[in-house]
A and B are shown apart, each in its own frame.
Chain A
Amino acid sequence: MTRLILTKVAVGAVLLLASCGPMAQGTPLRTIGSELRGVLTPSEEPQPAAAAAETEGATAEPAEAPAAPAAPHAGPGGAGSEAMLVSLPTRGVGARVASVGRNQDKITWFSPDGIGIVTRNGILIGTRGLGHDLMGADVASFDVIASGAANQRLIERLTGQDQIESLIFNCALTGQASEEIDIAGGKLMTTRYEEECRSSGYVFTNKYWTNESGDLVRSLQLVSPGVGYMIIQPI
């Protein structure tokens, strides 16, 4: 797959010169050309992790702010924060995301290149723009997860035929330990929770780090089988 697309890009780069004008927007060559950028955007060629994984310097505003952004909020989306650092380790990319909307306890965050992320009390329940998005999720709250109670998790994804497909996992806490982590330029003593979720075809392990007051300060959560994990760190 990768090689095929890259070949197209190489061919496209030559022919792009010949393709112009408003009607040419969205033609194959144009479209491939416009994919050669991106922060969280799926890229055919993963960028080096070092280049993009830590983006604490990034301050760009969301590229597509909504027409009337919801009022600033204070909530446990990340202990009252209005921005988070997120990264996709398998793609070696990361970004700072800003909160742009709130619906009850669900917060929508945008990255500068237009990727959307939805959390509910710090738990990832949706993404938009990653190619294999988490379209919806039914997940226990972090309190339930941390309590060690077994729980069921439903995640929804789009099939290649535009249908919503649900995957159901049985999840349970498999580990809890103290850990000192590097965060925001300093060291922080945390409690690390590991949660394993299984279905017939897949298994994944989410991790959560909380500070002394029990707030989530970092987490590693599955987006979808196609994307892998996302690291989320409120700031």
Chain B
Amino acid sequence: MNTALLRSAVAVLLSTTAANAQDSWSHYDLFGGSGMIDMPIATSMPDGQIGVTAGVFGPADQIRLSFNFQAFDRFGATLRYSRIDNYFLPGLEPILDHSFDLHYRFLDETDVLPAMTIGVRDIMGTGLYASEYIVATKTFGDNLRVTGGLGWGRMGSYNGFDNPLGALNPAMSERPDRDWELGGKLELDQLFRGDAALFGGLEYRLNDTWTVVAEYSSDAYAREESTGTFTHRSPFNFGVTYAPSDMYNLSAYALYGSEIGVSATIVLDPKTPQFPSGIEPAPVPVSVRPESTRNTETWDRSMLPDTMLRTLMTQVLSAEGIDLLALEVSDRVMRLRYSNNRYRSEVQAAGRVARILTQVAPHSIETFILEPVFNGIPASAIRLNRSDIEDLENEPGAAEAIYDRAVISHAGQTEGLVETAATEPRFTWGIIPYVEMTLFDGDTPVRGDAGIDLKAEYRIRPNLILSGAIRKSLFGNAADAPVEPPVGDAPQVRTLAPLYAQEGDPALQYLTLSYYGNPAPNVYSRVTAGYLERMFGGVSAELLWMPVDSPLALGVELNYAVQRDFDLRLGFQDYSIVTGHLSAYYEFENGFQGQIDVGRYLAGDWGATFSLDREFFNGWRVGAYFTVTDMPFEDFGEGSFDKGVRVTVPLDWATGRGRQVLGASLASPSRDGGARLGVQGRLYDMLEDGQPSRLSDGWGRFWR
């Protein structure tokens, strides 16, 4: 190769502006939020960003593992697990604690004004870190950030003074003790009460990878000092952060004149996949009909009989990972039902189907109607003009233009469709490794289990599926967990998990026969029978009303569930229960999806689950949920009620291809209250990717 050419080609073509560099200047502190070291700053993390931070300092021996999510541009939340040695008294077991923070930026930084944020740290439960703050941060030039703030609670404990809010209401001057009982509940009566104190600091960026921090902390660590394991010599903390990439950073700290700390953060940005356009092979080019044949009224069936056309199309589409399930062909219109087994994006799959149709469909066919199908059930219909596909391929603005000309509505009648060979029974299987981990279950920091699942599925009809999985644990300590005795009168359900882990290996994870239906327009149904999940078998029936043009969907589910034997073979125990829920799903304009389920849970308790998830167009989901039931908090036990945070990561975000997703949840340990049956294939999750609003959100992938 011509060396001059190579040199010029390699020359960097991006001249990133200073403004861009500044945007990426985010720093996770020892509490895992946006801050300096122990003190927060007002600058928010970029919208949607997730930071997972592990921090430790000693000799006081505190460990903090935090999960931070910038849920909106202005609002974020942090969930934290911490381990504090000698919190109560020297020599006692260390305390393992959960804490939860919220922070809201109410003022944006301008040339003159600083950014300002109000926040609450450790708002639930024990309140070991309970503090509130208002903080201001101003950036000077590209590399200096100055922060000052006012803190209450722990953040008001060093050089504190009378609460200025006491002038408004004398009651604010006193901070009541927190009575956390079993933990896990919102604790609001302390907020912004008691002494306040000032904190502040400087961050200076030496270059793209190194930043130094100096902070004045208003946390006196009084409790830790009183047990004699922490020495507060100075309010000044110093740190250095090394951030060699956008993906992670490492920090080291000198704290309070007596402690040394380190932390590491992994940064995940759901909005920035490794390969935004994917790395699947190119789609086939559009075949353009000669102008003269575009208006042909019919096609010669003696040359290409319907059966041959169906066979040809089944084969060609299957090369794209698409099962053609049914086909209706007239002189001018072709309607297909297909299921996409390869692409995360249903829009991308639809685009590929359309391209293939231009290659194989007889020239007189001008209209393509594509009906994506999920477990045999069509979710919508995309109507495209073949001429538009021919005219727009590889033109600028093609994605928007084809969207404007497409008509997306609900799927058509089954009448007229002829099934293809792809609907014949088919068997598939796989051996897939699994990892399961529970943090801070009881007094063990990490409980986990890893092994393999042997999964198999027999699709008798596209909508009638027999599926099962056998799990073999290879290593882990899940079986070592102690079985807690029952509390109160409620039957034990999820707290029996250790018995299943001890006796049920290998385990029949599930073995079910599922039937999906579409009994009326916009109405979908499911019946699942068999071994529904690890702890329960029985029958589950569900009905969902999900209009294509409405953000609201309503569902009802009814289950008869029998507790399975601990050996996880075929036997059952005596306990059985009828459970069920009424569910409402609502898709908000801004990418948030809310869900409320009201009904009866596995232990016979009645209540409701509230969930809110942020759904990114690329398939990421980050959400939180909680369940309150009529089971008394003291019967529920630690945490008072069930709640958690969950994350779903589409695999193609990391690898550029594939439609698998990875799920993870950070939940309080599963207990007996608010336990919902873990049946697979619930209708809303199954169908939502095919809904018109989803197709519209991800339409940019049509030509990909």
Contact A182 B2 (CB under 8 A): yes
Of the stretches B15-23, B375-383, B515-523, B636-644, the one at the interface is B15-23
Query: Of residues A28, A110, A204, A205, which shows the largest number of chain B Cβ atoms within 10 Å of its Cβ?
Result: A28
Contact A101 B287 (CB under 8 A): yes
In the complex, which of the residues B5, B281, B360, B697 contacts A113, with contact meaning CB atoms closer than 8 Å? B281
Closest to A30 in B: B658
Contact residues in A for B479 (Cβ distance below 8 Å): none
Contact B704 A135 (CB under 8 A): yes
Contact B394 A103 (CB under 8 A): yes
Interface code B415-435, partner A: CB below 8 Å = 1, 0 otherwise?
Answer: 000000000000011111100
Contact B396 A137 (CB under 8 A): yes
In the assembled complex, the CB of A86 is this many whole angstroms from the nearest CB of chain B, namely 12
Contact residues in A for B657 (Cβ distance below 8 Å): 26, 31
Contact B13 A63 (CB under 8 A): no
Complex Cα spacing A164 to B20, Å? 21
In the complex, which of the residues B390, B397, B654, B700 contacts A103, with contact meaning CB atoms closer than 8 Å? B390
Contact B245 A90 (CB under 8 A): no
Interface of chain B residues 638 through 664 with chain A (CB within 8 A): 651, 653-660, 662
Chain A interface SS verdict (over half): mixed
Complex Cα spacing A20 to B454, Å? 10
Query: Of residues B6, B15, B284, B319, which shows the largest number of chain A Cβ atoms within 10 Å of its Cβ?
Result: B284
Contact B399 A22 (CB under 8 A): no
Contact residues in A for B452 (Cβ distance below 8 Å): 18
In the assembled complex, the CB of A141 is this many whole angstroms from the nearest CB of chain B, namely 14
Closest to A87 in B: B1
Contact B394 A125 (CB under 8 A): yes
Contact B431 A19 (CB under 8 A): yes
Contact B8 A63 (CB under 8 A): no
Interface flag for A116 (CB, 8 Å)? yes
Complex Cα spacing A116 to B277, Å? 13
Interface flag for A146 (CB, 8 Å)? no
In the complex, which of the residues A101, A106, A161 contacts B617, with contact meaning CB atoms closer than 8 Å? A161
Contact A118 B394 (CB under 8 A): yes
In the complex, which of the residues B5, B269, B431, B699 contacts A20, with contact meaning CB atoms closer than 8 Å? B431
Interface of chain B residues 586 through 622 with chain A (CB within 8 A): 616-618
Contact residues in B for A151 (Cβ distance below 8 Å): none
Contact B700 A159 (CB under 8 A): yes
Complex Cα spacing A129 to B283, Å? 9
In the complex, which of the residues A3, A32, A226 contacts B655, with contact meaning CB atoms closer than 8 Å? A32
Contact B432 A27 (CB under 8 A): yes
Interface flag for B407 (CB, 8 Å)? no
Contact A5 B429 (CB under 8 A): no
Contact residues in A for B428 (Cβ distance below 8 Å): 21-23
In the assembled complex, the CB of B303 is this many whole angstroms from the nearest CB of chain A, namely 14
Interface of chain A residues 211 through 235 with chain B (CB within 8 A): 220, 222, 225-226, 228-229, 231
Contact A106 B287 (CB under 8 A): no
Complex Cα spacing A100 to B342, Å? 23
Interface of chain A residues 126 through 157 with chain B (CB within 8 A): 126, 128-133, 135-138, 154, 156-157
Contact residues in B for A157 (Cβ distance below 8 Å): 276-277
Contact A21 B429 (CB under 8 A): yes
Contact residues in A for B2 (Cβ distance below 8 Å): 181-182
Interface code B443-455, partner A: CB below 8 Å = 1, 0 otherwise?
Answer: 0000000001001
Contact B274 A1 (CB under 8 A): yes
Contact residues in A for B700 (Cβ distance below 8 Å): 135, 158-159, 162-164
Contact A89 B703 (CB under 8 A): no
Contact A23 B13 (CB under 8 A): no
In the complex, which of the residues A28, A161, A225 contacts B618, with contact meaning CB atoms closer than 8 Å? A161
Contact A133 B398 (CB under 8 A): no
Contact A160 B432 (CB under 8 A): no
Contact B288 A103 (CB under 8 A): yes
Interface of chain B residues 276 through 300 with chain A (CB within 8 A): 276-288
Complex Cα spacing A39 to B53, Å? 38
Chain B interface SS verdict (over half): loop
Contact residues in A for B286 (Cβ distance below 8 Å): 101, 103
In the complex, which of the residues A19, A129, A156, A159 contacts B432, with contact meaning CB atoms closer than 8 Å? A19
Interface flag for B332 (CB, 8 Å)? no
**B interface residues, tally (CB under 8 Å):** 85
Complex Cα spacing A205 to B247, Å? 30
Complex Cα spacing A118 to B456, Å? 42
Interface flag for B701 (CB, 8 Å)? yes
* A229-B9 in contact given A1-B247, A160-B618, A201-B17 (Cβ < 8 Å): yes
Interface flag for A42 (CB, 8 Å)? yes
Contact B287 A70 (CB under 8 A): yes
Contact B429 A129 (CB under 8 A): no
Contact B279 A131 (CB under 8 A): yes
* A136-B430 in contact given A101-B285, A159-B276, A162-B347 (Cβ < 8 Å): no
Contact residues in B for A15 (Cβ distance below 8 Å): 433
Interface flag for A82 (CB, 8 Å)? no
Contact A160 B658 (CB under 8 A): no
Contact residues in B for A128 (Cβ distance below 8 Å): 277, 281-283, 704
Closest to B11 in A: A205
Contact B360 A90 (CB under 8 A): no
Closest to B455 in A: A23
* A23-B430 in contact given A28-B651, A42-B275, A220-B9 (Cβ < 8 Å): yes
Interface flag for B166 (CB, 8 Å)? no
Interface of chain B residues 352 through 371 with chain A (CB within 8 A): 356, 359-360
Interface flag for A114 (CB, 8 Å)? yes
Interface code A77-91, partner B: CB below 8 Å = 1, 0 otherwise?
Answer: 000000000010110
* A222-B429 in contact given A66-B284, A133-B277, A207-B8 (Cβ < 8 Å): no
Contact residues in B for A125 (Cβ distance below 8 Å): 394
Contact A23 B457 (CB under 8 A): yes
Complex Cα spacing A19 to B15, Å? 43
Interface code B1-42, partner A: CB below 8 Å = 1, 0 otherwise?
Answer: 110011011100111110010000000000000000000000
Contact A228 B701 (CB under 8 A): no
Contact B618 A201 (CB under 8 A): no
In the complex, which of the residues B1, B432, B699, B703 contacts A53, with contact meaning CB atoms closer than 8 Å? B1
Interface flag for B498 (CB, 8 Å)? no
Contact residues in B for A70 (Cβ distance below 8 Å): 285, 287-288
In the complex, which of the residues B279, B394, B704 contacts A106, with contact meaning CB atoms closer than 8 Å? B394
Contact A131 B285 (CB under 8 A): no
Interface of chain B residues 293 through 342 with chain A (CB within 8 A): 312, 316, 319, 342
Contact residues in B for A32 (Cβ distance below 8 Å): 655
Closest to A203 in B: B15
Contact residues in A for B274 (Cβ distance below 8 Å): 1, 5, 131
In the complex, which of the residues A31, A110, A126 contacts B658, with contact meaning CB atoms closer than 8 Å? A31
* A129-B281 in contact given A67-B356, A103-B394, A228-B13 (Cβ < 8 Å): yes
Contact A64 B284 (CB under 8 A): yes
Contact B15 A202 (CB under 8 A): yes
Complex Cα spacing A15 to B433, Å? 8
The chain B residues found within 8 Å of chain A, CB to CB, are 1-2, 5-6, 8-10, 13-17, 20, 245-248, 269-288, 312, 316, 319, 342, 345, 347, 356, 359-360, 390, 393-400, 428-433, 452, 455-457, 616-618, 651, 653-660, 662, 697-701, 703-704
User: What are 14 pairs between A and B in contact, CB < 8 Å?
Assistant: A1-B245, A20-B430, A21-B431, A23-B456, A25-B430, A35-B655, A42-B275, A103-B393, A113-B281, A158-B277, A158-B700, A160-B271, A161-B616, A229-B13
Closest 10 A-B residue pairs measured CB to CB? A116-B282, A101-B285, A23-B430, A114-B281, A131-B275, A21-B430, A128-B282, A89-B9, A66-B284, A108-B285
Q: A22-B429, A132-B275 are in contact. List 17 more A-B contacts (CB 8 A).
A: A3-B245, A20-B431, A21-B431, A28-B654, A42-B275, A67-B356, A101-B284, A101-B286, A113-B281, A130-B277, A132-B276, A160-B270, A201-B14, A201-B15, A201-B20, A205-B8, A205-B13
The chain A residues found within 8 Å of chain B, CB to CB, are 1, 3-5, 8, 15, 18-29, 31-32, 35, 41-42, 49, 53-54, 63-64, 66-68, 70, 87, 89-90, 100-104, 106, 108, 110, 113-116, 118, 120, 125-126, 128-133, 135-138, 154, 156-164, 166, 181-182, 200-205, 207, 220, 222, 225-226, 228-229, 231
